[in-house]
Each structure stands twice: as C-alpha cells, then as structure tokens.
Structure 1
Amino acid sequence: MPLASAAARSPSPRRAPHGADLRPTPPFARVEICQALEDARLPWTTLAHETSASPYQSFAFARIWFATIGAARRATPLIVVARDESGRPVALLPLARTARGPLRLAVFLGGKDSNFNLGLFRTPSAWSPADLARLFAEAGARANPRVDAFLLMNQPLRWRATANPLAGDKPQPSPSFAYASALPGDFSVWLDARASKEAKKKMRKKRSRLEATAPLVHSRAAGAQEIDRALAAFHAERRARTEALGAPDPYSSAAAQEFLARLARDGALELHVLAHGERVIAVFGALPGAERLSGLFIGHDGDPEIARSSPGEIMVHAVVADAIARGFAEFDLGVGEARYKDEACEIVEPLFDSAFAVTLKGRLAAWVFLAARRAKRSIKRSPRLKAVQARLRRLGGRSGA
C-alpha cells in the first residue's frame, strides 16, 4: 500500500502496530456555525489570545461593523468555529453572509473596511488543503440556509511570522499589495533610512512655514468631543476631495460614519490629529494591534496654502514617531498603491484571493469571483487601462451614477 511503502522509505522508520491508521490526526473533529455574533464571543476571545491575527479580526471590530455598515448592507454573521475531539476551539473564520441574486455567499466581515483578512488558527501548520476543503464543505452545509460559496479576498500570505494556511501551494494574487514598515527603537533611525539630508531639510522648511503662522501640534483624540472634532474634519476633507475628483466617498453614508465614530469611542480606532493652531489640517485613523499599528485612513486639508507644506507627510511621520515611542514593532498603511506608502514603507506585503465552492452554482460564483479579481489586477498593472478606468469613474461621478 502507498502509505506503508512511503513509511518504509523514511530515513527514520517508525513501525506502527499491526492495523494502526498511519494517517495524521485531523486538526478538527466538528464544525459549528454561529449566526449570532454573541454566540461566538467565547471561542473568538479564546483564540484571539492564542493566535496571530490583525486588529481587523478583533471581536470589537466585528461587533461594531455588523451593527453599522453590515446592517446597512444586510450582511449577517456567519462565524465558523472548528473544535477538536475535546471541544476546544482550534479555528475560527470571521465571516459575513451576503446574497447576490439567487446565490448565498460567505465573505470575510468588514468588506473594504478590512485591509487584512485572516482566519484564527490555533496551529496553522496542522491544516492541509484537504482539511481546509472539508472545513468549508461542512461549514457550507451546516449553515442555514446553505452557503453556495466562500469568496475570500485580501488575505496576507503571512501575518508577522506565521504562514497563512489558506494560502495553499499556488495562491491567486490579489489586485493590490499592502505596505508596512518595521519600526526600530528610534525615530531618527527610521527617518534616516527614508530621507536624504536634502529631503529632511525640505521637510523642516515645510514645517517651519506652517509654524510661522500658528503652532503645529500632533495628538491622539481623547474623549467624545475630540473624537467628534477629528471625524468632522476628516469627513469634510474627504467629501471635498472626492467631489473634486468625481469619485465616490466610501465614508459618506450614515452607517459608515457611525462605524468610525463607534470604533473610536470603543478604543478600537485611534484618531491622530495634526492641528495648525485651532485648525485641524490632517487626521489619521489607525487600529492598534498587539505589536502592529494598522492605518485605516488618512485625510488632510486641501487648501493650497496648507497642502504645499505636505501635512499628510508630516502626519505620517508624527504617527510613526508616536508608535515607536509606545513600543510598536510594526506599522502599516493598508492595501492599495500610493506614493506616500512607497516613501514610508519598505515592506511590500503580497495578498491573495481564494474561493471554496459548496454547490454547483457556487462553482460558477467562485470562478466569476476569481476571474474578476484577476481582471482587476491586470487593470491596476496597466497604465493605459488605469487611465481608462479613472476616466469612466469621473464620468460616472459627474452623471450621478
């Protein structure tokens, strides 16, 4: 038999008793589906303390997202919990149920508001592709109503030092990368690695230009009044900028604005403020994790007199200096290409997409999803196609589409 012959060729053979099963023990014994978020709280918090995951997989983030943006989109919890023979949770997939026409789908919760999507696996290396296929098949069948497919995007190949078991052997790259930076113990060391003497001289000149008319102060919003002030400035800046570009504002809805406000009041979102006298000229939102500070958004004053002094750059440097002072080991600026990310981050983090079909129509949905993600990646890597896409978006924005 193949297993027996393979064992015989092993450099350090270990004979099993006659009739013993030489197959490895499966990493899970049973699967349960939590369709109410509170039902998943105990296994979720247990695994969160024992596994490696980003701030986007925190229970607080999930609770607030489902109560605001998720509710507006009619997304409901579908939390997959795998347990071993003793009943101990060994994996948790933080998912949301959605529907597209006749299709019943499961996706990572958070949508575009989650830069990094991960499952919580107690022992990631124990999961084979066959184990994962069985996990999704059982989860899809146990869900009520049944799930046709799991469509999973923007997953990091690794989170910190831990390999992502969902990556498999040949993961499909996501359309965009994420950008991160390892933080040394001293801000000057971090800055010296990114800026020449001439560049730092220009930065000081820009800062001095602002300080000549009013004090320039970086702070983290504390208390409801400061949080409301920071978010009001951010939303006003974002609205003005997207209108000028003819692009949609992802935070224009009441649900999205409540999402940010509740995250900040809960302490799950930091709001960094750069004030020029009494005027807020930049706001940076970040989610603090165990050792990484993850940037969610940045906005800065578009007034030409302010913008010429690069308030966004000043803000990013202030956030990094603050993160280093508080002992964070890493910092990221999320997913998507931008020049300021290239300047601040030396680490490009590859992401991947995957899909697991449960039903026949789910196979079609999975194929379309992965094909669409490949097409988006191709557009992002073609200057000509990107220009066409940008033009169509501007035309759509002007027409109200």
Structure 2
Amino acid sequence: MTMAAAIESRTAAAAVPSSSRRIAQIEILSDLESAEAAWRRLETAEQLFTAYQRFDFLKCWQREVGLRDDAKPLIVIASDAERRPLLLLPLFVKQSHGVRVASFMGGKHATFNMALWDRSFATAVEHADLHGLLDELRKRSAADVLALTQQPLHWREVQNPLALLPHQSSVNDCPVLNIEPGAAPSSLISNSFRRRLRAKERKLSKLSGYRHHLATKDAEIDRLIEWFFRTKPLRMAQQGLPNVFAEPGVEAFIRRACLTRRVGEGRVIDMHALECDEEIIALYAGVADGCRFSMMFNSYTLSDHSRYSPGLILIRDIVDHYAARGYRALDLGVGADNYKHLFCKAAEPIFDSFIPLTSRGRFAAVGMSALARGKHLVKHNQALLRLAQGVRKSLR
C-alpha cells in the first residue's frame, strides 16, 4: 500500500458513534488488509457468512478482477462497545451511468452475497441497527446507491438480517439440495436415477485409471486449470455462448483462488475431477465451508466420452462426497438449467435491495429496481423467455 493510500484508509477507518442500541461504532475502510483482523473473527464456524464472502476469496477477486475494473473497496465494520465485530459488509464502489454504485465484492463470480455476521447479533437485529448503518453510509461513503443483489433470504436456518430492508425477488432463485444428517443415498438421488447414471458410466468405468477425485496438490490443480482454460472456450463456442472467462483478470483470479489454501482444510476454490489415464473427462469447481458446497464453474471433455453424461456422473459423486462428510446443503448455482433440477429439488429464495444514499442515487435505485423486476418477469414467463432467447440468438 502506498503512503497516500494508507493515510486515506486510516482516515476512512476512524470510529464513529452509532445511534443504535448495540452497535457502538462503525468503521468504513478502503482496503482489505485493514479489515482482515475483524474479517477473520467473523469467519469462524460459529458465525454467519457464505464462503463467497471469505477474506481469501475476495482478496483474490479484488487483486485480479476488482483492480482491473476500477472497483474501489468499501468495507463497513460495525462493532460493539468492546470492539468486537458484529457485522462486516464487503462492498466496492464503481462509477456507472453517472452514479457511484456500491455492490458486493466478487461481482458475478459469487452465487450468494451477504454480510458476515456475529450469529447472536444476526438473530436479534432490529430496524434501528440497519438504519443507523445506512445513516453512516449516507454521511461518510462515496456511494450514491447500494445495489445489494443475490442475497439469500435465509442462511443456516437464520433469516438474513438485511431482509429487514426494502427488497424484491432476484431475477433467479437458486436450486438447492438440502441434506439431512445421516441421509440415505437414495433420499438424495433416487435409486432409479442412480441406475440410469450407472448404466451410462459402464463404458467410462472400463477406462484405465477411471476415477473421481478432489484435487489437493498444486501440480494436480495446475493441470486441471490448464485443461479447463483450453476446453471451456471451445465448449462455450459450440453452445453459441460468449466466453466470460476471457474477461480481464478472470483467469488469473480463478488460478489464484484455486491454488490458495484457505484457513482449515481445502482451497479457496475446490476442484473435483472425473478422469482416466487418457484424459480429464469432467470438472466441477466450487466453494466449501464445512456445511455447504456451492458450484461455480464446470466443463467436460470434447471427446466421444462426452456421450455418457460425465458431468451428471461427477455431480452424483460430489453429492455423495459431501453428504458423507456431514454437509447440510449443495447447490449448482443460480439459474433454471434442466440438469440442476435433476439433483436440486428445492429452491433457495434470493432477493435484491436497491437503496439510495443520495438524491442522485434515488433515481438510480428506481431504475435498477425496475430493470431487475423486468428481468424477473421475463425469466418466469415462458412466452417472454422464448422471445428473449430468440432475439438473443438472432443478435449473435
């Protein structure tokens, strides 16, 4: 950090009394390192957060994607009188269409967005706590509007406290597989579906070295990353989709996050592969927190082996892997792709909040809210969705 940036960060971090009954001070910081100590305290298993808001995940994102995109960190920490952190909002500010928009760090690479909460505080949050927080942001931040999208309504059986603020349904829900402790495999994936997958797998299982594994060594992870970035653009081109992994910094972010060890067991992004001695057949990568696994990206072979549904076979193995380790949920990301509903029978309600902080931001919040509602309407109306897909296809 430069000397000027350090001075700026310390100035922004000055504690300010809050009118809330339990929040005693609020800090607004402009760099991750200054927030790390409080951030780590809110990342323990006893607290409430998603793996997408881990310090290490967002540090990788900010370094490789955020900086390139001129995203300036805006990290809000509320603490009690003993300076124990009660919540941390990991945001960034970026100029867009003439207004300064504050959004969750991680951008479109995070399936879920959420503050990190002291769990006991989260269960007792009142409107006054949140309005005190917003008042400080209005007075002390550079943002005109908060665009807080893709927030889960509940997390680990606790209602998301930010749902107390005005909100609306997100464009998509997230299909999720809930896992009861000690659940029988057939309750997670039906016996009939398992038989269908085993029938498809017979050809693959005869291949030399056929296996599913979670990559744990750096060399192994490097090999899977290289394969992914060779095959995924080709796979997306076949499907007529733009290569989102070619956007500035994205490949470097994924490489760094897959290789960075997180506190405890595993990497910031874990990579599961189905392969044989001849080739990598399928790959799924996602984030794990000891309770939930959430998939981020995937690809599968371009060879003839793709005929045997290796992606579905790998998902089955991943479900069984995490169920055996006591995980309580697994999701395949937001969206209504058919393959997701083969495994995930429940829907995770997701919401957005667009909150003005300045008079200029008031108009922006109205526009953002209306645009999101329009997308939600299209996504949930089959006739409009087919029309939109047809227009998009013709434009390509």
Distance 1:193 1:126, change over 3 A: closer
SS of the residue 2:41 aligns to: helix
Counterpart contact for 2:211–2:274, Cα < 8 Å: yes
Distance 1:200 1:367, change over 3 A: same
SS of the residue 1:74 aligns to: coil
Counterpart contact for 1:246–1:395, Cα < 8 Å: no
Q: Residue 13 of structure 2 aligns with which residue?
A: none
Q: Residue 126 of structure 2 aligns with which residue?
A: 128
Q: How far apart are the structure 1 equivalents of 2:231 and 2:384?
A: 28
Q: Residue 277 of structure 2 aligns with which residue?
A: 277
Q: How far apart are the structure 1 equivalents of 2:354 and 2:181?
A: 40
Q: How far apart are the structure 2 equivalents of 1:259 and 1:138?
A: 32
Q: Could you give the per-residue CA deviations for residues 258-292 of structure 1, whole angstroms, max 9, x where no partner exists?
A: 11111111121111111033211111102110311
Counterpart contact for 1:184–1:190, Cα < 8 Å: no
Q: Residue 163 of structure 1 aligns with which residue?
A: 159
Q: How far apart are the structure 1 equivalents of 2:166 and 2:28?
A: 28
Q: Residue 385 of structure 1 aligns with which residue?
A: 384
Cα RMSD over matched residues?
Answer: 2.0
The answer to whether 1:296 aligns with 2:291 is: no
Unaligned runs of 5+ in 2: 1-18, 261-266
Query: 2:80 is aligned with what amino acid?
Result: D
Query: 1:240 is aligned with what amino acid?
Result: L
Distance 1:193 1:119, change over 3 A: closer
The answer to whether 1:235 aligns with 2:229 is: yes
Return the offset for 1:254.
Answer: 5.1
Return the offset for 1:84.
Answer: 2.3
SS of the residue 1:180 aligns to: strand
Query: 2:39 is aligned with what amino acid?
Result: W
Unaligned runs of 5+ in 1: 1-23
Mapping for residues 131-280 of structure 1, pairs under 5 Å: 131-143=129-141, 146-168=142-164, 171-184=167-180, 189-197=184-192, 199-253=193-247, 255-266=249-260, 267-280=267-280
Return the offset for 1:149.
Answer: 0.9
Return the offset for 1:379.
Answer: 1.0
Determine which structure has more spread, i.e. the larger CA radius of gyration.
1
Query: 1:211 is aligned with what amino acid?
Result: S
The answer to whether 1:34 aligns with 2:32 is: no
Q: Residue 366 of structure 1 aligns with which residue?
A: 365
Q: How far apart are the structure 2 equivalents of 1:196 and 1:223?
A: 34
Q: How far apart are the structure 1 equivalents of 2:175 and 2:152?
A: 11
Q: Could you give the per-residue CA deviations for residues 230-262 of structure 1, whole angstroms, max 9, x where no partner exists?
A: 122222332122212322122123511111111
From 82, 107, 113, the counterpart of 1:111: 107
SS of the residue 1:283 aligns to: strand
Counterpart contact for 2:177–2:188, Cα < 8 Å: no
Counterpart contact for 1:183–1:190, Cα < 8 Å: no
TM-score by length of 2: 0.87
Matched pairs, number: 369
Return the offset for 1:382.
Answer: 1.8
Q: Could you give the per-residue CA deviations for residues 311-367 of structure 1, whole angstroms, max 9, x where no partner exists?
A: 011000111122123332322212111122111113210000002211111011111
TM-score by length of 1: 0.86
Give the share of equivalent positions with the same residue, in percent.
31
Distance 1:227 1:367, change over 3 A: same
Counterpart contact for 2:20–2:128, Cα < 8 Å: no
Q: How far apart are the structure 2 equivalents of 1:249 and 1:369?
A: 26
Query: 1:200 is aligned with what amino acid?
Result: R
The more displaced of 328-337 and 106-115 is 328-337
Q: Residue 10 of structure 1 aligns with which residue?
A: none
SS of the residue 1:327 aligns to: coil
The answer to whether 1:88 aligns with 2:87 is: no
Counterpart contact for 2:165–2:353, Cα < 8 Å: no
Distance 1:213 1:120, change over 3 A: closer
Counterpart contact for 1:27–1:127, Cα < 8 Å: no
SS of the residue 2:314 aligns to: helix
Q: How far apart are the structure 2 equivalents of 1:286 and 1:30?
A: 35
The answer to whether 1:313 aligns with 2:312 is: yes
SS of the residue 1:251 aligns to: helix
The more displaced of 271-280 and 148-157 is 271-280
